[in-house]
Every structure is written in C-alpha cells, then in structure tokens.
C-alpha cells in the first residue's frame, strides 16, 4: 500500500458523519466499484424503526439481517412452547425441532433454576494489612449500602438488590491488591446497568471512607480505586435441564440401531466429551448453538452467556462437557447444567421489535422461565447432534440443510433448485457434486 493511499484512508471525526457520509467515505476509500444500494437494500422500510436500530450501536452503515426461526413442539415443565431462534447456521433450528418432537412424546424437558445470583467486582489498591479487614469491614459495608440505598430501593421492591459482599485480598496480583466481590439479585432484568451503577457508587464511597473514617490509621488511608465492573462469570446463576426415558422407549425409527445400542453409543459419546477437551469444545459449541439462538432472539447478551458457559465448563482446571448422561435402573437420563444470566425487561428486550415479539411468542416469560427455555433448547440441540453423530453421521443432515446455501452461492434458479434437491435426495451432498450437477443441467458439463 502506498503512502498516498494510506494517507487518504485516514479519517478524523468519522463518528460525526451521518449514515450517508459514512457510506460514501467507505465506498470512496475501501469499496471502489460498489454502490450505496448494497447498504441501503437492507434498510428498514420504517424510518422510525431504522432510527431505533441505528442507535443500538455506533458508526452504523447498514442492517445485518439474520434468520428468525421457530422450533415448535418444545414441552418444558409441562408447557408447550414454540421457541424463537436467531442463527445463520444450517440445520440448527431443524435439529432442535426434531429433538423437541422426539422428547414431546417421552415426557418433554424438565428444567429448574439452581441459583440466580450475579456478581460484580470493585478492585482497589490499599496499603493496609490484610488481617485488618475483619475489623474494618462492618463499617465499610454499612456505608456502602447506605450510600446506594436510593439506587437499590427500586430493585429491592422487585425482589432483587445487593445480596452480600466479601472483602478479598489478591496477593497473587499484588500485595496491595484487594477486591470487593458483591452478589446481586436483579429480578427479571439482566441487570448489567444496575450492577455497574451500584459498583461505581461504591467506588466513590470507598474513597470517601478512606479519607474520613476514624477507624483508619494514616497508612490505611492510602487507597486507590482501580476499577468497578460486573463479572460475566456467573457460577451462581445456574439452570439445570434434563430429559429421561426408559431405555426400551429410546427407539429411533429408520436408524437401524436398537434402543439399547443407541443409548450405549450415546453415553459413550458424552463420556468422551467429559474427558477430552478437544471433543468437549465442539460438544459445547453445539449446546451453545441452541442457547445462543434463543439469547439472540430475545435481545439478550450472547457474548456474556458464551463467556460464562465456557468458564463454567473449565471449573476444576479441565475443560469438560456441560452436559452429562447416565443410566439409572434402565432409565436414560441426559442433563445440562449451565450458567445463564438472562433478562426479560430492559435493554434490547423491548427496544428491538423482534426481541419483543419473541418474548410474546414465549408468553412473556420471567427471567427464570426464559433461562429454562434456553437451557432446554441447548440440551435439545446437543441431543440432536449426538444422535446424528452416533448413528448416521453429522454431515447427512447438515449438508441436506446446507444444500440451499450451496445453491444460492451458485445462483441456482427456482427450477434448478427443485431439480437439484430431488436429485440429491438420499445422496451424499458436496459443493463440488452440486456444481457438477448444475453444470449438467445447464448444458455446461
């Protein structure tokens, strides 16, 4: 790249450009040969809706559509759901739907909340001795709670608020490094803004405490706040989902595998993921295909959920499967335990029209109910993937769904799509094979 091109690509004040100016700048400097229509094609028809979407992020140029699908027939805790799923990967919604239908006639999914505690951290440097914490902490906690009473009052009315706090020493970081680890209840909201607001108020108050508390020595007044922020590690905000069925009823029509052999192979596959991190990562990715789809559809933070899930999977020092399988008295039991910090009020849950609609589809669930639905969907997706892996193989179903994407990439017409889909019914699908068949249809091969 020449110095001239590099210099021309530098920009100042980009965030102050309007959308048209941002598009124009990008087309002139990075996308020569393209036009504004490639962005505008995805603009919402409603200017009011487009303004809402533009305000979700910064420096926006266009919308990025993803499929919004439904997986029906989810029987969860006795309620029948149609589960909204947003994902671009072929076969995920189909697989979840298939698993839901399979388990609907076998008692459905059971799900229960294990705990709903969320965490925040205030890190600070303090020159005092660690053993002084026990004597000083009661006064500090009282002041912190008093200083934030007006902030927490509304949340407390909804059953949430500050649950507890610990004053921890972190000598592995630095001899003067300390942390307040604070647990919160946030009701039906994810609670990120609430937690961060409380923690930042704590940061201000702890500085005041260090300057005016009569309990502190001159040395102990040397306190510096480093940062205050929620933690996305939520090992105490956990849901368990499971399915169970007598082995003799675990038949798979048309698979050629009897129920007992299927359960044996399935259990072994789960055990492999419990002990082999290489397999566990892929195994858990399949679980998150289901969970993330629901999290996205309902306007929740899938990056936070992903981070928490993988940290949870690595507890104990070895990365393991999030799901477990066991057989008790000839009953097959498959379960998933996963941290899920979700909300059904606040954030994008109401601002994004489709997220709001997704919650309507689910019957306006509480946060706990949504956690149960998301966990059950993750377990369903995991079951469907493992069922394929230990019987027909994963590619058969995946490539069947992927065929339409391949045909799109090859600009297939509706007639060509129909003929190709019919031809590959029961055949192995590959990008090369589809191209060859289309060439023959078009008289090019």
Residues 6+ apart with CB under 8 A from 445: 436, 439
Catalytic residue among 36, 54, 89, 222: 89
Helix pair 259-275, 367-389: axis angle to 10 deg: 110
Catalytic residue among 200, 205, 292, 301: 301
Tokens of 91: 């076969």
Convert 58-67 to b/e letters by CB count within 10 Å (16 or more is b).
Answer: eeebbbeeee
3-state secondary structure of 149: helix
Does residue 150 have an active-site annotation?
Answer: no
Does residue 285 have an active-site annotation?
Answer: yes
Q: What is the DSSP letter of 131?
A: G
DSSP secondary structure letters along 191-206:
-HHHHHHHHHHHHHHH
* CA distance linking residue 56 with residue 45, whole number of Å: 17
> How far is the CA of 315 from the CAs of 268, 269, 273, 301, 319, in angstroms?
22, 21, 15, 22, 7
Can you list the alpha helix ranges (DSSP code H) found in 390-430?
Answer: 394-409, 414-423
3-state secondary structure of 255: coil
Does residue 301 have an active-site annotation?
Answer: yes
Phi then psi for 265, rounded to 5 degrees? Answer: -65, -40
Q: Tokens 């490539």 sit at which residue?
A: 399
Catalytic positions, written as ranges: 89, 285, 301, 398
């Amino acid at each position: 790249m020449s110095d001239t091109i590099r210099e021309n690509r530098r920009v100042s004040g980009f965030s102050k450009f309007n959308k048209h100016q941002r598009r124009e700048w990008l087309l002139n400097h990075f996308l020569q040969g393209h036009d504004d229509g490639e962005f505008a094609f995805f603009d919402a028809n409603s200017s009011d809706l487009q303004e809402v979407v533009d305000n979700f992020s910064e420096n926006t140029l266009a919308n990025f559509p993803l499929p919004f699908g439904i997986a029906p027939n989810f029987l969860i805790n006795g309620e029948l759901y149609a589960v909204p799923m947003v994902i671009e990967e072929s076969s995920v919604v189909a697989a979840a739907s298939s698993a839901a239908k399979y388990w609907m006639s076998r008692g459905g999914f059971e799900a229960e909340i294990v705990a709903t505690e969320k965490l925040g951290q205030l890190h600070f440097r303090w020159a005092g001795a660690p053993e002084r914490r026990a004597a000083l902490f009661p006064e500090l906690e009282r002041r912190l709670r008093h200083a934030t009473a007006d902030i927490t009052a509304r949340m407390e009315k909804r059953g949430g608020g500050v649950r507890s706090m610990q004053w921890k020493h972190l000598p592995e970081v630095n001899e003067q490094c300390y942390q307040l680890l604070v647990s919160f209840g946030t009701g039906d909201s994810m609670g990120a803004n609430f937690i961060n607001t409380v923690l930042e108020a704590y940061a201000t108050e702890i500085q005041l405490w260090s300057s005016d508390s009569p309990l502190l020595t001159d040395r102990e007044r040397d306190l510096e706040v480093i940062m205050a922020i929620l933690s996305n590690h939520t090992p105490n905000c956990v849901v368990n989902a499971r399915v169970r069925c007598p082995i003799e009823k675990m038949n798979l029509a048309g698979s050629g595998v009897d129920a007992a052999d299927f359960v044996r192979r399935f259990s072994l596959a789960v055990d492999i993921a419990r002990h082999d991190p290489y397999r566990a990562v892929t195994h858990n990715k399949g679980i998150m295909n289901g969970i993330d789809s629901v999290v996205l559809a309902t306007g929740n933070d899938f990056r936070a959920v992903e981070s928490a899930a993988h940290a949870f999977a690595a507890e104990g020092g070895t990365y393991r499967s999030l799901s477990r399988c066991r057989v008790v008295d000839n009953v097959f039991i498959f379960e998933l335990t996963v941290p899920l910090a979700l909300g059904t009020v606040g954030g994008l849950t109401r601002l994004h029209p489709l997220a709001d609609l997704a919650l309507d589809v689910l019957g306006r669930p509480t946060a706990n109910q949504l956690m149960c639905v998301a966990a059950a969907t993750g377990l369903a997706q995991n079951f469907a993937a493992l069922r394929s892996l230990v019987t027909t193989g994963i590619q058969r179903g995946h490539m069947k769904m992927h065929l339409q994407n391949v045909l799109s990439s090859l600009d297939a017409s509706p007639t060509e799509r129909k003929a190709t889909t019919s031809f590959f019914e029961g055949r192995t699908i590959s990008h090369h094979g589809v191209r060859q068949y289309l060439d023959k249809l078009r008289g090019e091969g």
